[in-house]
Amino acid sequence: MNKKEVAEIKKQFSPSNCAITRICGCYVDAEKERKTELKEAFLSLPEEEMFKYFDIFKKTLSGTIGKNLINLEFPLEQELSDGAQTFLLKLRDSKLKDDMLLDEFYDRVIEHYSYGENYYIILIHAAYDIPGKASDGDEMFDSSEYVYEHLLCSICPVKLSKAGLCYNEETNSIMDRIRDWIVEVPQKGFLFPAFTDRNSDIHSLLYYSKNPEELQSEFVEEFLGCRIPLTAKTQKESFHTIIEETLGNECDYEVVKNIHEKLNEIAEENKENPEPLSLDKTEVKRLLASSGATEEHLEEFDRQYEASTGSDQSSFLVSNIASTRKFEVKTPNITIQVNPDRTDLIETKIIDGRRCIVIQMDDSVEVNGIHIMGLTKE
């Protein structure tokens, strides 16, 4: 899914567009025991509750594609009779009215979801009547051809409100506040099936993680049956390792600056593209070659790529490896941050036999907020 497709589904989480047919929930305590359950037609909920659920559902589809929102594909074995994809299809097709399937769903989540405190599993079924689109991109609500029937699961921590004092209107006094168990924003969730090319893609799902560095590999692999991808941070670290190991002693400032500039050019050229842009092994190799890597370096690249990523088939999302907002040069004692478009202001030189970073100072200069009028005299 891309960001436009995610936005189209999020639009349904409002009273005027609501396509949710049924909501089910299960409150689980820290001992992994079910405490209470919910089974309702969504539109039968009080309006105040509906709005709070809408906020939770929107949060489950929030963040950046490739970081918080990750497209996952089911391996072929998960589409067999006892696979995770087949189970989710049965659950979707039941419209959440089969109690045995719901019980099995809760049991599977509780078994594989790692969280040592109380949490609330929310599961909804929705049927979105997909409007057609005119040639100018406008939606035509009277020309729908398909219905996108799907499930959205949100897993929310439930925590005690903070202790404190409050004003009691009945007694007209300040007193100790009663602490309640509060359902917080979701930490994990998923949308199944994926909404790809404005239609159902039963071979994929969209996975949500509030913390992009804590994807919960057991939950993804054992419950959803999908292969865990590299996190955004791991992608960046692996990309840096490939560059450092490939270039070795010749990993100098100019080559790294060229890589930075070319990555930013790629990101800029594709910023209007709703699809997340990725670079595979061949494209990363081409990037290094155009940035100054030699043939000898590129031979080493082939050896380093699989060692760093775990597979020749791995790819990097440009949004995870490009630094479009900053260009930073660090030594153990100094950090220099430069506008990414003005990397030309910094260069490296050998001065009096010492390696130096040279910064052009043509514009005004401040030191601790104080404007200085000139440089120290020789």
- pLDDT digits (tens), the chain, 378 positions: 999 999 999 999 999 999 999 999 999 999 999 999 999 999 999 999 999 999 999 999 999 999 999 999 999 999 988 899 999 999 999 999 999 999 999 999 999 999 999 999 999 999 999 987 766 566 665 666 789 999 999 999 999 999 899 999 999 999 998 889 999 999 999 999 999 999 999 999 999 999 999 999 999 999 999 998 888 899 999 999 999 998 888 888 888 888 988 988 888 888 888 888 889 999 999 998 888 888 888 888 888 888 888 777 788 999 888 888 888 888 888 888 888 888 888 888 899 998 888 888 777 788 888 888 765 555
In the chain the first and final C-alpha atoms are separated, in Å, by 61
Q: Is 339 helix (H, G, I), strand (E, B) or coil?
A: coil
Dihedral over Cα of 359, 361, 363, 369: its sign: positive
Per the document, the length of the chain is 378
Q: Would you say residue 114 lies in a domain?
A: yes
If you write DSSP's letter for every residue of 25-62 in order, what string do you get?
A: EEEE-TTS-EEEEEEEEGGGS-HHHHHHHHHHHHHHT-
Residue with tokens 């270039």: 247
Amino acid 202: pLDDT: 95
Backbone angles phi, psi at 368, to 5 degrees: 50, 40
Q: Which residues contact 311 (CB under 8 A, 6 or more apart)?
A: none
The residue from 229, 258, 288 where one domain ends is: 229
Amino acid 357: pLDDT: 87
Domain total of the chain: 3
Instruction: Verify that 88 and 211 share a domain, yes or no.
Output: yes
Q: Would you say residue 172 lies in a domain?
A: no
* Closest residue by Cα to residue 205 from 26, 39, 75, 21: 75
Q: Would you say residue 355 lies in a domain?
A: yes
180: exposed, middle or buried (C-beta count within 10 Å: 0-12, 13-18, 19+)? exposed
Instruction: Verify that 33 and 131 share a domain, yes or no.
Output: yes
Q: Would you say residue 317 lies in a domain?
A: yes
Backbone angles phi, psi at 73, to 5 degrees: -110, 145
CB 173 within 8 A of CB 203: no
Instruction: Verify that 92 and 210 share a domain, yes or no.
Output: yes
Instruction: Verify that 189 and 206 share a domain, yes or no.
Output: yes
The residue from 175, 205, 229 where one domain ends is: 229
Range of the domain at 297: 233-321
DSSP 8-state code for residue 353? T
Amino acid 113: pLDDT: 96
Amino acid 377: pLDDT: 53
Instruction: Verify that 205 and 258 share a domain, yes or no.
Output: no
Residue with tokens 């090319």: 197
Instruction: Verify that 335 and 308 share a domain, yes or no.
Output: no
* Closest residue by Cα to residue 244 from 286, 307, 331, 290: 307
Instruction: Verify that 57 and 77 share a domain, yes or no.
Output: yes
Q: Which residues contact 301 (CB under 8 A, 6 or more apart)?
A: 242, 246, 284, 285, 288, 293
Instruction: Verify that 89 and 153 share a domain, yes or no.
Output: yes
Name the β-bridge partners of 36. 27
* Token pair belonging to 269: 């050229």
Strands 173-176 and 327-330: unpaired
* Closest residue by Cα to residue 17 from 102, 185, 131: 131
Query: What is the Cβ-side half-sphere exposure of residue 207, based on CA atoms within 13 angstroms?
Result: 26
Q: Where are the alpha helices (DSSP H) in the chain?
A: 3-10, 47-60, 84-93, 99-112, 217-218, 232-247, 253-269, 281-290, 295-309, 318-321
Q: Would you say residue 134 lies in a domain?
A: yes
Instruction: Verify that 344 and 243 share a domain, yes or no.
Output: no
Instruction: Verify that 200 and 336 share a domain, yes or no.
Output: no
CB 261 within 8 A of CB 346: no
Amino acid 141: pLDDT: 58
Q: Would you say residue 169 lies in a domain?
A: no
Strands 188-192 and 146-160: antiparallel
Q: Would you say residue 174 lies in a domain?
A: no
* Closest residue by Cα to residue 120 from 182, 55, 164: 182
* Token pair belonging to 318: 């440009």
Q: Would you say residue 163 lies in a domain?
A: no
Q: What pTM does this model have? A: 0.83
* Closest residue by Cα to residue 208 from 73, 70, 332, 5: 70
The count of other CB atoms within 10 Å of the CB of residue 89 is: 16
* Token pair belonging to 299: 């031979």
As a whole number of angstroms, the distance between CA 124 and CA 332 comes to 52
Instruction: Verify that 282 and 314 share a domain, yes or no.
Output: yes
Instruction: Verify that 192 and 311 share a domain, yes or no.
Output: no
The residue from 229, 252, 285 where one domain ends is: 229
Number of helices followed by number of strands (H, E) in the chain = 10, 22
If you write DSSP's letter for every residue of 71-104 in order, what string do you get?
A: EEE--GGGGSTTSHHHHHHHHHHTTT--HHHHHH
